[in-house]
């Protein structure tokens, strides 16, 4: 088990005060809950995230990056953003952009789609991308999430974007459960792919009094073999979502 402490560079009081302007720190008044739908329905502010997506070779959409960023800005600054599945760093950088919240990415470059050569290239690319942006509030751990233990930190915004199966989606959510703050926002990407949403349903069924779905969008695209490369390219450039996503609200009961 690898213990991870990312609070080495704790925020100073001044930063905390500044960040507090964006959040009430109260579960009932979390501004994300009341503002996210505007963000979903408008493309305002997405250009920056579209540019980062291109620069980093990210896999998620510009809208998804923008909404994650909004959730992190609304988060109680005592908590952290954590993601499983960082790939080349796009979603991690989106989370950390223009704020001082601590953001942690976890990836072991183990996707079943990766050849050893691809894993090597993705690893090099994430380090290059994180180095290029140099955000002081970003930490990255190369490890299987199952071997990572957070030491004292509570997750206020959690993104699950690792292996796309029902079982692994559920396992990631359950790994996160013990670290979630009393109130947290949980994102799951690619819910339309390979039974991922089944994992979300299994997790909601296990914690019915704690988890509520705020939003979901399914996007079903044809498989690669059914369409030509131009069409696939256009679909991958979809600004809303490539394979769907959902947003869950977590309120700890015990």
Ligand X SMILES: C[S@@+](CC[C@H](N)C(=O)[O-])C[C@H]1O[C@@H](n2cnc3c(N)ncnc32)[C@H](O)[C@@H]1O
Strands 211-217 and 245-251, by their bridges, are antiparallel
Decide whether 76 or 94 has the Cβ nearer to ligand X: 94
Binding residue for ligand X, selected from 153, 161, 210, 249, defined by CB under 6 A:
161
- Contacts (CB under 6 A) with ligand X, residues 104-133: 106-111, 122
Decide whether 143 or 201 has the Cβ nearer to ligand X: 143
Decide whether 109 or 133 has the Cβ nearer to ligand X: 109
Number of Cβ within a 10 Å radius of residue 109: 16
Among 43, 34, 78, 79, residue whose Cα is nearest residue 61: 43
User: Candidates 71-79, 159-167, 227-235, 240-248 — which segment interacts with ligand X by CB under 6 A?
Assistant: 159-167
Among 154, 163, 161, residue whose Cα is nearest residue 184: 154
User: Candidates 23-31, 161-169, 194-202, 236-244 — which segment interacts with ligand X by CB under 6 A?
Assistant: 161-169
- Contacts (CB under 6 A) with ligand X, residues 4-33: none
Could you tell me where the DSSP H helices lie in the chain?
Answer: 13-20, 31-41, 47-56, 62-74, 90-96, 116-133, 166-177, 196-206, 229-236
- Contacts (CB under 6 A) with ligand X, residues 37-96: 58-60, 84-88, 90-91
Decide whether 76 or 122 has the Cβ nearer to ligand X: 122
Decide whether 6 or 84 has the Cβ nearer to ligand X: 84
The tokens for 108 are: 């072991």
250/27 Cα distance (integer angstroms): 10
Work out whether 192 is an interface residue with ligand X (CB under 6 A).
no
123/142 Cα distance (integer angstroms): 9
Residue numbers of the site for ligand X (CB under 6 A)? 58-60, 84-88, 90-91, 106-111, 122, 144-145, 161-163
């Amino acid at each position: 088990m690898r213990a991870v402490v990312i609070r080495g560079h704790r925020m100073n009081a001044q930063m905390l005060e500044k960040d507090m302007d964006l959040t009430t720190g109260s579960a009932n008044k979390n501004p994300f809950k009341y503002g996210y739908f505007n963000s979903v329905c408008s493309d305002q502010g997405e250009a920056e995230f579209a540019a980062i997506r291109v620069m980093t070779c990210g896999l998620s959409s510009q809208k998804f990056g923008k909404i994650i960023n909004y959730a992190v800005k609304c988060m109680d600054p005592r908590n952290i953003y954590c993601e499983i599945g960082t790939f080349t760093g796009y979603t991690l950088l989106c989370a950390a952009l223009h704020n001082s919240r601590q953001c942690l990415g976890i990836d072991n470059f183990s996707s079943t789609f990766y050849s050893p050569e691809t894993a090597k290239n993705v690893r090099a690319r994430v380090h290059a991308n994180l180095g290029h942006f140099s955000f002081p509030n970003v930490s990255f751990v190369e490890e299987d999430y199952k071997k990572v233990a957070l030491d004292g930190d509570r997750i206020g915004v959690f993104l699950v974007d690792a292996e796309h199966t029902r079982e692994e989606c559920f396992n990631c959510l359950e790994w996160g459960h013990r670290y979630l703050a009393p109130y947290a926002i949980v994102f799951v990407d690619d819910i339309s792919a390979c039974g991922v949403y089944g994992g979300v349903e299994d997790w909601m069924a296990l914690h019915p009094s704690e988890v509520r779905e705020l939003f979901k969008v399914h996007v079903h695209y044809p498989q690669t073999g059914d369409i030509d490369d131009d069409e696939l390219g256009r679909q991958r450039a979809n600004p809303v979502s490539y394979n769907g996503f959902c947003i869950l609200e977590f309120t700890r009961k015990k």
